[in-house]
Amino acid sequence: MVESFGGTNLHVGDIVVIAAYFIFVLVVGLWTTFILILMAFVFLPVYISSGIFTMPQYLQYRFGGIRIQVYLAMLTQLMYIFTKISADIYSGAIFIEQSLNWDIYSAITLLLSVAAVFTIAGGLTAVIWTDFIQTIIMLVGAFVLMVISFQEVGGFNAMVEKYPQAIPNSTLHGNDTCGIPRSDYMNLFRDASSGDLPWPGILGLNINSLWYWCSDQLMVQRALAGRTYTHGKAGILLCGYLKLLPVFLLVFPGMIARILFTETVGCADPDICMEVCGSSTGCSNIAYPTLVLNLLPAGARGMMIAVMLAALMSSLTSIFNSSSTIFAMDMWTHIRKKASEFEILVVGRLFVIVLVVISLLWIPVIKASQGSQLFVYIQEISSFLQPPLCAVFVLGLFWHRLNEKGAFSALIVGFVTGIIRFAVQYSYQSPPCGSDEPDPTPAIVKNFNYLYFSIFLCALSTIVAVVVTLLTDPVDDKCIQRLTWSTRHSKEPRVNIDDWLAGRTDGKQDAQINGSQENNELKDMKAKKDPTEKTEVDTDSPKEKEADVEKNQTVETPAKPSIPRRAFNWICGIDDANKNQLSEHQIEVQDMLSIEENPCLQKLTAFLAALLAVCAAFVIGFFA
């Protein structure tokens, strides 16, 4: 059903879906598991059917032009530096500092050296395999540490009773209230006047989560790496089940750490905190390392330290890999339009060095951030930069009418607004708790929580996108086939939006559409690869066949590269001896673009998703 509004075509069904989605997020989308279910069943099939490799590439397919693609690529690099790379480096350095008593910058140097070499030499394949192995070991170690922690504190009920009494001596014998645990420490939904996580701000937290889990290259690339849509969806659901565990494996042990080590983990005096962890704003970041170092036996302690450090480095390598991919595919190809695949690969790997240098320069800001809580710091930066992207991705996925002008206007307005808040907030530093110094931070920043700002920024970006889109010309529906939720199963040819805008609609279509020349070539290649598949009748004589075979063997025999060349190719992950395998990878593209599923597996994943939603709802309700 289509209605006319202001001379434009509005798809009522899509608008209803958008409204239903936002109501869903507002009412029950209070847990990452629900966001992951959305990723598996809503976002992923569109990404797969569109044939994209990166998120900036999806926006380029969806809206045309290059400015949105380049903008997202540049903004993604900034977000990775501010929220992921620098935060991971800092958290890993804290762990090394606590466990080995190293200087924090020596620990950072070690982390970066290993992570950079690992990324340049291994690539995404190495990242996935190490993540798989480390996840299993970390889960086992975290379960053991959780059990030991509860034994030390006297059980769950004892933890609940003792936590309010975990007050450091500096507070007990002082005149201030610094270091006193919150009264609502066992509730997910904090009071609306809460300074860190007020319950209405949960919607803002979900906006950040929606971008992170459903549109961030770092997360989406793992699902896109799946052999089929079902594989990718199953992996996401497994991640959803794992996301139920942190409250038990991390949050409760963190509370126990404050009970058992009140004077260090729960320190409130700036001088004491500086001596304990090198931060005057608090030492909550050392809670988990303190448990590992003090509660686990020697052998298990060493294994857990090694695995956690490896996991931190693996996280860094994942970010480096994603960043280098985005830079090489979405930025360098516009700088060097005729760059070879080899050049793109090398440039992407070398870009890691640039990321490392910039991230190092940002670490002092994290160290001095308010509250010294990495989670709060990451959510603050996310709330300033991610909501406009979330609005554009959601609208672009569901609303056919959204065009490039509307999307780009929303991104620019949202970015400028977010950067202003970002600059103002980090231009001032609040004094430590208990200090007599006045807080120079403007009242509008102190009283307007960053999660509320995330909601405001998302709403502002949505309004700008809708208004500008309705005031400008729409694009033809032929340009968005398999790029939106309602067209994900479409078999119609997709016209390149830039060709359509230029008036070239004579069949110039992208390589990911049914009936295209490229797709037909892939089918021919697959037929040649599979001898059991029926092909055209072969009328050549045996002698002619033998001559053709000898000719092909003569042509396809590659020259053996030199030893230095082979060493360089090995470091960069290039296998010259298997160049002919590229055709096999191209053949796999045809299967990777399909979102058709086996009916039995489809029902199984639907059941697992429903069970996951029930489990998440129970956890939320129990600790609400």
Residue 443 has pLDDT above 80, yes or no: no
Which CATH number belongs to the domain containing residue 11 in this structure? 1.20.1730.10
The residue-averaged pLDDT of 415-422 equals: 91
C-beta separation of 15 from 24 below 8 A = no
Q: What is the pLDDT of residue 118?
A: 62
Least confident of 211-225, 246-260, 346-360, 585-599: 585-599
* Backbone CA torsion sign across 139, 144, 145, 147: positive
Residue 517: inside a domain: no
Rounded to the nearest 10°, the torsion over CA 529, 532, 537, 543 is 70
Q: What is the pLDDT of residue 45?
A: 92
Q: What is the pLDDT of residue 476?
A: 87
Alpha-helical (H) ranges within 3-43 are 12-27, 32-38
More confident call, 366 vs 62: 62
Q: What is the pLDDT of residue 227?
A: 82
Q: What is the pLDDT of residues 18-44, one digit of tens each?
A: 455 444 444 444 467 888 898 999 999
The secondary element (H helix, E strand) that includes residue 9 is strand 8-11
Tell me how crowded residue 90 is: count the other CB atoms within 10 A of its CB. Answer: 24
CA atoms of 310 and 316, how far apart (whole Å): 10
Residue 468: inside a domain: yes
Tell me how crowded residue 60 is: count the other CB atoms within 10 A of its CB. Answer: 23
Report the candidate in 539, 401, 535, 411 with the shortest Cα–Cα distance to residue 476.
Answer: 401
CA atoms of 611 and 585, how far apart (whole Å): 36
> Residue 165, class by beta-carbon neighbours within 10 Å (0-12 exposed, 13-18 middle, 19+ buried)?
exposed
- Please report, as a single letter, which amino acid is at residue 467: V
Share of residues in the chain with pLDDT > 70 (%): 70
| pLDDT band for position 445 (cuts 50, 70, 90) | confident
**Would you put residue 226 in left (φ > 0), alpha (ψ -120 to 50) or beta?**
beta
Residue 543: inside a domain: no
Which 3 state secondary structure label does DSSP give 10? strand
Q: What is the pLDDT of residue 525?
A: 39
Report the candidate in 509, 513, 522, 462 with the shortest Cα–Cα distance to residue 490.
Answer: 513
Residue 89: inside a domain: yes
Q: What is the pLDDT of residue 148?
A: 92
> Residue 601, class by beta-carbon neighbours within 10 Å (0-12 exposed, 13-18 middle, 19+ buried)?
middle
Using DSSP bridges, classify how beta strands 8-11 and 2-5 pair: parallel, antiparallel or unpaired. antiparallel
The secondary element (H helix, E strand) that includes residue 382 is helix 374-385
How far the first Cα of the chain sits from its last, in Å, is 41
Tokens of 100: 């080995």
Q: What is the pLDDT of residue 84?
A: 75
Q: What is the pLDDT of residues 172-209, one digit of tens each?
A: 776 666 778 877 778 777 776 666 677 777 888 888 88
Residue 504: inside a domain: no
CA atoms of 258 and 280, how far apart (whole Å): 17
At a CB cut-off of 8 Å and minimum separation 6, what does 351 contact?
Answer: 323, 324, 327, 328
Rounded to the nearest 10°, the torsion over CA 89, 95, 101, 105 is 10
Residue 479: inside a domain: no
Q: What is the pLDDT of residues 276-329, one digit of tens each?
A: 777 777 778 788 888 888 888 877 777 777 777 767 776 777 777 777 777 887
Mean pLDDT in the chain? 75
Q: What is the pLDDT of residues 68-103, one digit of tens each?
A: 888 888 888 888 777 777 777 777 777 777 776 666
Q: What is the pLDDT of residue 12?
A: 52
Residue 616 has pLDDT above 80, yes or no: yes
Q: What is the pLDDT of residue 25?
A: 43
**Would you put residue 278 in left (φ > 0), alpha (ψ -120 to 50) or beta?**
left
Residue 532 has pLDDT above 90, yes or no: no
Least confident of 232-246, 252-266, 475-489, 497-511: 497-511
Q: What is the pLDDT of residues 3-16, one digit of tens each?
A: 433 333 444 544 45
Q: Supply the pTM of this predicted model.
A: 0.74
Highest mean pLDDT among 78-82, 236-240, 557-561: 236-240
CA atoms of 573 and 121, how far apart (whole Å): 6
Q: What is the pLDDT of residues 495-504, one digit of tens each?
A: 888 888 877 6
Residue 525: inside a domain: no
Q: What is the pLDDT of residue 137?
A: 78
Share of residues in the chain with pLDDT > 90 (%): 16
> Among all chains, which residue has been given the structure tokens 């500092």?
97
Residue 502: inside a domain: no
Number of domains in the chain: 1
Domain that holds residue 175: 2-183+192-474+602-623
Q: What is the pLDDT of residue 114?
A: 67
Rounded to the nearest 10°, the torsion over CA 422, 424, 427, 429 is -90
